[in-house]
Structure 1
Amino acid sequence: MAKSKIIKDLANGSVDTITALKRTKVLVSDLENTEILRWLDHEISGYPEDATVPSYRKVHGSLKGSYFKGSMANHMNWNNVSIPLGKMPDDIKELLLSVEFHESVEALKKLDEKSQAVGTEISKTIPADCFSTIAQFNNDPYMIITSARVIVSEHIVSNIFSMIENKLLDMLMILEKEFGCLDELDIDTTAKSVEEIEAINRRILVLCYNDNSISVGDGNKIKDSTIASEIK
């Protein structure tokens, strides 16, 4: 069977991710699966701050910033350098260095374009009330942190798009196999029993959406620091 145009367009990159998401939302609406629709809606419109984001939207970065040692009158400065973590426990490192992207795919696209055009880093700002805690783990009473942020890889946004598009392809290929050509953006669910529809929904959830991601550090100040889309 020839592949549906929506699949070929997505596979060869002739359609953008937001359009593919919207087309897929139209297709799966008749399946009446709230979890699948919620995932599509969140990718289109962004994840609420209290929502658990999928694992592919969670990354780890490295801590950079500025600090000085000594007194105000006699001290040494380090600017825009890696900040040592000292004997920081692993669970706190996880909170500190973890970055979550809640933005919609359109916002992520603009973020990526701006970062590439200006050549700047994508980062999460760490609030000032965490600075003394970070310094304490270095066991250095003379270390005064003045700024800190978590820097993530320049390729991370592209990786997020790749994951989303791959999940959409898997989803669309399941729909095509079960319902035939998808070019009219319509599927006939009346030809399937309730049990068959439920089985299709489960396959889509397992293969394309349900990654059992876990939200780390609810309510923690480090997690609630400035959104990762901030560019420094």
Structure 2
Amino acid sequence: MRLLTEIIEALSGDQSGLVDALFKAKVLSHRLGDADLKRWVDSELSGYSDDAAVPPYRCLHVTIMGQVSDGFNVYNDQVLPVFHLEKRLRDKLTATELRESIAVVEQFSKSEHDLVIAFQPEYFPALRKGLRGGFEILRAWGKHSVGAHLQVVTEVRARLLEFVLNLEGSLPEDVDARNLRQIAEDVGVHEMFKGAVFGDNVNINIGSGSQSHLSNAVHKNDFAGLAQVLREHGVGEEDIGELRQAVEEDGTRDTERSYGPKVKQWMGGMIAKAGSAAWNVGVQAAGGVLANAISAYYGFSS
């Protein structure tokens, strides 16, 4: 698929290609019909709104620095103690959420000067309690660790690249954009995106109804649990046996983080049965059941 190739080339080329890759990923999210992928791409391009949760990689540690005086001498760039602070205040001062667009973060990462967060004077009395008697705080600010902004840029690039590579390896070579959404459901694209970008143990919207809870009933490498969930959704013992054989033939998928060829073939056969006497489940529901349950078995979902 040409669009995937273009995104991979932009991400694996020079450092200036990230924003271009995200714009192409916005087109991809529309073709896949994945709302969470679109929301993430939009947030990285435009910045995260005040009421939006930011991904863990955008939560940065801050070292509190200050200018202090004992009445005779002034000491600059002093690291101020914080462990005496009440936890809520300490957490507020020593962590920050980076909500700016990725283009702005890239500019931050290229700056030759340290970017700081100035603290208002109302925090000075609490901070002063950690100092020896006689010292006053003249100024206080927070400073990110060296390379923090570059790390955010690298994380976005790496996570998007991992997702697109996994997607490329899971889609048929002759995929048609017109039926891409259905194929995306069949191969579990949403779970693939969730695992690559947010991590396996983070919950984001994964659908509605009972399908959204399937991954809680299946644990990694627990085929018995997977088989039980499939039985509960009308999959026959013969089909479950064929899936077991397909899983064994494909082997471990920890490195590839995508379904193997035998499992994909089995899923395609099951989708073909959906809506018929062989499996009285709607095609869309069938795709969701299989994708969520098998993704959970492989550890691609939380």
Structure 1 and Structure 2 fold alike (TM over 0.5): yes
Q: 1:66 and 1:191, CA in 2 relative to 1: closer, same or farther beyond 3 A? A: closer
Do residues 161 (structure 1) and 153 (structure 2) align?
Answer: yes
Q: What residue in structure 1 maps to residue 36 of structure 2?
A: 35
- Aligned-residue offset at 1:4: 2.4
Provide the residue aligned with 2:99 in structure 1: 102
* Structure ranking higher in helix proportion: 2
Percent of residue pairs bearing the same amino acid type: 22
Amino acid at match of 2:101: S
Q: What letter matches 2:116 in structure 1?
A: S
Structure 1 unmatched runs, 5+: 214-232
CA shift at 1:195, angstroms?
A: 4.7
Partner residue, 1:121: 114
SS in 1 for 2:129: helix
Q: Which amino acid aligns with 1:176?
A: E
Q: After the TM superposition, which residues 193-212 of structure 1 pair with which residues of structure 2 at under 5 Å, given as runs? A: 195-196=185-186, 199-209=188-198, 212=202
In the comparison of the two structures, how many residue pairs are matched? Answer: 201
Matching residue's letter, 1:171: F
The answer to whether the aligner puts 1:151 opposite 2:143 as a matched pair is yes
What is the CA deviation profile of residues 74-99 of structure 1, one whole-angstrom value per residue up to 9, with x for unaligned ones?
x3322222223362345433221112
Q: Give the whole-Å Cα distance in 2 for the aligned partners of 1:181 and 1:18.
A: 27
TM-score (norm 1): 0.74
Aligned match of 1:55: 56
Once residues 129 and 23 of structure 2 are traced to their aligned partners in structure 1, the CA distance between those partners, rounded to angstroms, is: 49
Give, in angstroms, the shift of residue 164 of structure 1: 0.3
The list of structure 1 runs, each at least 4 consecutive aligned residues, that deviate by more than 6 angstroms after superposition, is none
Computing the radius of gyration over CA atoms, which structure comes out larger, 1 or 2? 2
Root-mean-square deviation (CA), in Å? 3.1
State the match for 1:21 in structure 2: 22
Closer, same or farther: CA 212–112 of 1 in aligned 2, 3 Å = same
Higher strand share: 1
- Does residue 174 in structure 1 map to residue 166 in structure 2? yes
Q: TM-score, normalised to structure 2's length? A: 0.58
Does the aligned pair in 1 maintain the 2:30–2:38 contact within 8 Å? Answer: yes
| Distance (whole Å) between structure 2 residues aligned to residue 90 and residue 165 of structure 1 | 33
Report if aligned partners of 1:125, 1:148 keep a CA contact under 8 Å in 2. yes
> Aligned match of 2:182 in 192, 199, 202?
192
Match of 1:112 among 109, 114, 117: 109
Maintained 8 Å contact 1:122/1:154 = no
Aligned partner letter, 1:203: M
Q: Which amino acid is 1:158 matched to?
A: L
Pairing partner for 2:78 from 78, 81, 85 = 81
